[in-house]
Structure 1
Amino acid sequence: MAGSHLIICLFLSFLSRVYSSDVLCEKGFCSEFIHKHGCSPPVPHCSYNNATHNGLWLPSPTICNCCPFCLEFLREDEHCSLGGPGAGTTVGRCGDGLTCVADPIDGYSYCKKMSSKCHTAQTNFDTRRTRGEMGSLEFRPHCDAKGKYAPFDCVLTQTCFCQSEEGERLFGEVVYRGTLTTQSMHCGCSRLHQRIMKRIQPGLAFPVFAPRCTSDGNFFPVQCIGRKCYCVDRVTGHIVNANRPGYTLDLRKYPITDLACYDPALDNFPHLNEGSPPYNFTAPCFEEQRLKVEMIQQSKEDGFNVDFFNSFGECMPDGTYGHVVMKRDRSKICADETGRQIAKYSAAPNTPEYESMNCKCAYTSHVMGSTSERPVCCKNGNFRRIQCRRGFCRCVDEDGRQQGREAADVTSLSCFTTNWRTC
């Protein structure tokens, strides 16, 4: 097996050298080829790239790729090709979110919407909009090219937050500012963190440290493996300029501030990076977990039973504390990024509010700061089921997203209860 892997690697290496050379396509070949044979004009879709006509520029299927070539993205219900031997040259492919499906009746293939949870949500949204059942603060779900949920979702007038491919709300939240928010919120780090946490073995003795994120769900520009730290792309998390001075360092000798990409404005705890060698790049929550791991390991070496200590509080991907914090008396509070209580949001043990506590509303309100249209929260920091704005009330889910039409008469809402004001 190892031998076959080596052969494949050598073959790919050989191909890369062949295709990067001028053995076949020597300098000047294309200009002479075009002069003699000319080029067929490419379809205009790549030049338009709008809601109805778009495509992808690719090397042309002509010799030496001399001519420009645009691969057309076909729209829903347009004819497509499933490919296969003898099927000819592909002139287009189904656009994002579509797949080529053979019709059992006429035998032809057509571009059809992929079957996915996100596309189903879009269909439901469109149906309700046609019926006049859509709320004014609802967004049509946005799906990516594979039919998965887009990296983030927004609650109009409040915040935007990261979400998984399945539409589950994740770490990463910023104040909603229209398209300005959407241009900078990629949530790659938050999504990677979620995938790592889902794949680790249940009941693992010690916490797993995933990549460090910023509060918007993007990658922190510095990532460290042990004491070795690197500059990374904030969107992809890939290491950048690894061989350039100032883009890689060893914390045993140099402080993190020596890295060209380090931005103290993105670091919630820059003071922890100060001191003398060996330096640190950490956060209070990470430090608490690290010290607890060391204590447990040392206790085991000393022959003590340490099962009692084997529990760890949650740290957010940016190194801050979890939004739901348990106090010594077993009560819970909603906390900000420093671990301090947000307003008076709390819950006592053995109560329904205690079991359902998620503090999503409390933290959204904290992120919005002094904004006038902050949501109304329950005493435990969850979103109140009914939110009101400018004379109209609406039902919302646990993430604060509107569900159904708003109404001036709160009693007409499907989620209305007699105690709706007090949750």
Structure 2
Amino acid sequence: MATHSSYFIISFLLYYFDVVNSDILCETGFCSTHMTNVGCAPPAANCRINNATHTGIWLPSPTICNCCDYCMPLFGENQNCAVGGPGTGVNIGRCGHGLTCEPSGDGAGFCARLDSKCHRAQDDFDDRYMKGETGVLEERPSCDGKGNYNAVSCIPTQTCFCQSEEGERLFGEVLYMGRRTKESLHCGCSRFHDKLRRIISPGVPLPIVGPRCTTDGSFNPIQCLNNICHCVDTITGEIKNGYGITTIDLREAPIANLSCYNRNLDLFPDQSTGEPTYNYTTPCLDKMNETIHYILQSEKDGFDMDYFTTVSECLPDGTYGRIVRTRNGTKMCVDDRGHQIENYQAEPHTPEYESMDCKCALTSEIMATSAEKPVCCKNGNFRRIQCRRGLCRCVDSDGRQEGPHSASVTSLECYKEDWQNC
């Protein structure tokens, strides 16, 4: 049996996001002399034209001191490309975003669309769209340059939320305010936690503590490791060095002294006051650390401990979760402050209890001022059929429309006689 020293919590904060620069400095005036005596080859037109047939990426020039501009052409679908490999020389370009170089013989190849889950979902949407089988609130899946799902998925008239590369809904949701909402939502912190959960957590007995997120899935502007706290970029998580106080020691100063401190983002501001030593934590994180300390001490004393069922993990924003159990065992949906959302709950030993996810309750809470909120089941899940302005549609567990809409509920594929009761 492994000793307790092999059980640990990995804190992926701060220093893992710090950027280390190692630029090689060139003699002052070198580039001007170089361009006068040698000159620069004209860059490929792809970057200058940048249209449907000519695209490229500006990169540091592969010359001394990067004096010249360099454009890496991106080839379009079905254009020739080099597969690459030992002895095949240097490629002058590569296949564009969402494409890969498929071999066609003799080291040659052609650019073909990547086969991925997201691309297949796009093909399915396009096929149904041509047949008139898509819904008015159904959006075409959005894929990135590697063929994975983009970080944000939106339900028009409702909300936008974070999603994984596989298209699974993640922590982080905001009110839909038009297409610009998708552009302003980045979900970097939420996706970071998802990768920790999938790649590392399954092989580690104790919870992995990642960076603190805000409710929209971005990096909290303040990240702490032990007693040292830094201001960070909310999109990338990198440590920021700018005007004002950007680093503090909680043994000497409260978190509110940081220039990036935002009381609206501090879910538990009362924990950041008082006398030194100060803190910047949450009740859930405190409880988790207390339990872990107890487990490790118990193991040291010779007891066998059940790691996987003893420690409850916190959400990326440091809260207990959006589903809590009362003393009598009832589950209820709560917001990030722990307050119950309307009357959404479920009793033990019922189907509603087992399937409870509170996704609709949370969306409804975000849309509190809207007159067209989704209809939720009693347990806070999305009702299978949603109606708006005389048109009804089937939705999945995330509230996304599935298939065409109809003015007649009975014509929907998901229709059941008791569709209004759930």
TM norm structure 1: 0.86
Query: Which residue number corresponds to residue 415 of structure 1?
Result: 414
1-side partners of 2:218 and 2:50: how far apart?
27
Q: Which residue type is aligned with residue 406 of structure 1?
A: H
Q: Which residue type is aligned with residue 28 of structure 1?
A: S
Q: Which residue type is aligned with residue 134 of structure 2?
A: M
2-side partners of 1:254 and 1:236: how far apart?
26
Query: Which residue number corresponds to residue 77 of structure 2?
Result: 76
Q: 1:24 to 1:422 in 2, by over 3 A?
A: same
Contact 2:84/2:107, CA 8 A, preserved across alignment = no
Q: 1:144 to 1:278 in 2, by over 3 A?
A: same
Matches within 5 A, 1:7-406: 20-22=24-26, 26-33=30-37, 39-60=40-61, 65-84=66-85, 87=88, 89-103=90-104, 108-202=108-202, 206-241=206-241, 246-293=245-292, 311-406=310-405
Contact 1:134/1:404, CA 8 A, preserved across alignment = yes
Q: 1:62 to 1:192 in 2, by over 3 A?
A: closer
Query: Which residue number corresponds to residue 8 of structure 2?
Result: none
Q: 1:295 to 1:328 in 2, by over 3 A?
A: farther
2-side partners of 1:290 and 1:87: how far apart?
55
* Alpha-carbon distance, 1:330 to partner: 1.3
* Alpha-carbon distance, 1:39 to partner: 4.6
Q: Which runs of 5+ in 2 are unaligned?
A: 1-19
* Alpha-carbon distance, 1:241 to partner: 2.2
Per-residue CA shift, 1:108-138, capped at 9, x if unaligned? 4111111211111111111111121111111
Per-residue CA shift, 1:308-335, capped at 9, x if unaligned? 9963445221122311111111111111
SS class of match (1:422): coil
Query: Which residue number corresponds to residue 9 of structure 1?
Result: none
Q: 1:18 to 1:157 in 2, by over 3 A?
A: closer
Taking only aligned residues, the RMSD between alpha carbons, in angstroms, comes to: 3.1
2-side partners of 1:113 and 1:88: how far apart?
24
1-side partners of 2:203 and 2:334: how far apart?
26
Q: 1:246 to 1:61 in 2, by over 3 A?
A: closer
2-side partners of 1:266 and 1:157: how far apart?
25
For structure 1, which segment, 124-133 or 166-175, has the greater mean C-alpha deviation from structure 2 after superposition? 124-133
* Alpha-carbon distance, 1:90 to partner: 3.0
Contact 1:30/1:64, CA 8 A, preserved across alignment = no
1-side partners of 2:298 and 2:62: how far apart?
67
Q: Which residue type is aligned with residue 257 of structure 2?
A: D
Query: Which residue number corresponds to residue 5 of structure 1?
Result: none
* Alpha-carbon distance, 1:383 to partner: 0.5
Contact 1:296/1:310, CA 8 A, preserved across alignment = no
Query: Which residue number corresponds to residue 13 of structure 1?
Result: none
1-side partners of 2:53 and 2:348: how far apart?
56
Q: How many residues align?
A: 403
Q: 1:66 to 1:212 in 2, by over 3 A?
A: closer
Contact 1:272/1:280, CA 8 A, preserved across alignment = yes
Q: Which residue type is aligned with residue 326 of structure 2?
A: K
2-side partners of 1:300 and 1:44: how far apart?
66
SS class of match (1:28): helix
Q: Which residue type is aligned with residue 395 of structure 2?
A: V
2-side partners of 1:190 and 1:18: how far apart?
30
Q: 1:138 to 1:197 in 2, by over 3 A?
A: same
Q: Which runs of 5+ in 1 are unaligned?
A: 1-15
Q: Which residue type is aligned with residue 339 of structure 1?
A: G
2-side partners of 1:112 and 1:158: how far apart?
36
Task: Give the structure, 1 or 2, with the largest relative contact order (CA under 8 Å, sep 6 or more).
Answer: 2
* Alpha-carbon distance, 1:84 to partner: 4.2
TM norm structure 2: 0.86
* Alpha-carbon distance, 1:240 to partner: 2.3
* Alpha-carbon distance, 1:345 to partner: 0.8
SS class of match (2:82): coil
Contact 2:159/2:176, CA 8 A, preserved across alignment = yes
Contact 2:206/2:307, CA 8 A, preserved across alignment = no
SS class of match (1:71): strand
Q: 1:111 to 1:302 in 2, by over 3 A?
A: closer
For structure 1, which segment, 258-267 or 217-226, has the greater mean C-alpha deviation from structure 2 after superposition? 258-267
